[in-house]
Amino acid sequence: MDGTEIMIHENYLYVLLGMGIVTYIPRWLPLVFLSRRELPEWFEQWLDLIPAAILSALILPILITAGDPRHLDLMRPEFLVAVPTLIFAVKTRSLAGTVIFGMFLFWLAEKLF
């Protein structure tokens, strides 16, 4: 196994298949096993809270942390633009409007910085 280029080409498809399978299983398993089952009430309540929790856990670190290793940074344009974008979303309840508004503000912010 010398010459990384050759190694990549030989193994590439197997690596992709492996990556694909381990990505697919977590996406597939809960759908097949949970969608046909009577779920206990507490679990239904838990699943009902997951979207709010996971969206917040996905987005907030992107907005206020940066670098590797990560550090807190409250002055990032991503965060500064997110504040008016959030207010716009609350006021208008419009997804299309919010996306366009956010993009426009970010474009402005990038120009100004």
Partner 1 sequence: MSSGLKTRVNKGFLFTEQVKPVNSEEKNVSWTAIIKDGVVGAWPICLGYLAIGLAFGVIAQKAGFSPMEIGLMSLLVYAGSAQFIGISMLSAGAGSIPIIITTFTINLRHMLMSSSLSTFMRNLGTGKLSLFAYGVTDESFALNIVKFREGDWDWRRALVLNQTSNLAWIISTVAGGLGGRFIPAGAFGIDYALVAMFVCLLVFQLRGRLYAIVAIIAGILAVTLSLLIPGNSYIIIASVSAATLGVFLKRSKLFAWTERKS
Task: Say whether residue 90 binds partner 1 (CB under 8 A).
Answer: yes
Identified binder of partner 1 from the candidate list 6, 75, 80, 101, rule CB under 8 A? 101
3-state helix, strand, coil in the chain (%, to 5): 80, 5, 20
Query: Restricting to residues 12-31, which ones interact with partner 1 according to CB under 8 A?
Result: 12-20, 22-24, 26-31
User: In whole angstroms, what is the distance from residue 16 CA to residue 12 CA?
Assistant: 6
Per the listing, tokens 């030989």 go with: 10
Task: Say whether residue 6 binds partner 1 (CB under 8 A).
Answer: no
User: In whole angstroms, what is the distance from residue 113 CA to residue 34 CA?
Assistant: 48
Nearer CB in complex with partner 1: 49/75: 49
Task: Say whether residue 57 binds partner 1 (CB under 8 A).
Answer: yes
Query: Restricting to residues 63-82, which ones interact with partner 1 according to CB under 8 A?
Result: 63-65, 69-72, 78, 81-82
Identified binder of partner 1 from the candidate list 6, 102, 112, 113, rule CB under 8 A? 102
In the complex, the smallest distance separating the C-beta of residue 75 from partner 1, rounded to whole angstroms, is: 15
Task: Say whether residue 61 binds partner 1 (CB under 8 A).
Answer: yes
| Buried b / exposed e along 83-106 (16+ C-beta atoms within 10 A) | eebeebbeeeeeeeebeebbeebb
- Do the Cβ atoms of 104 and 85 come closer than 8 Å? no
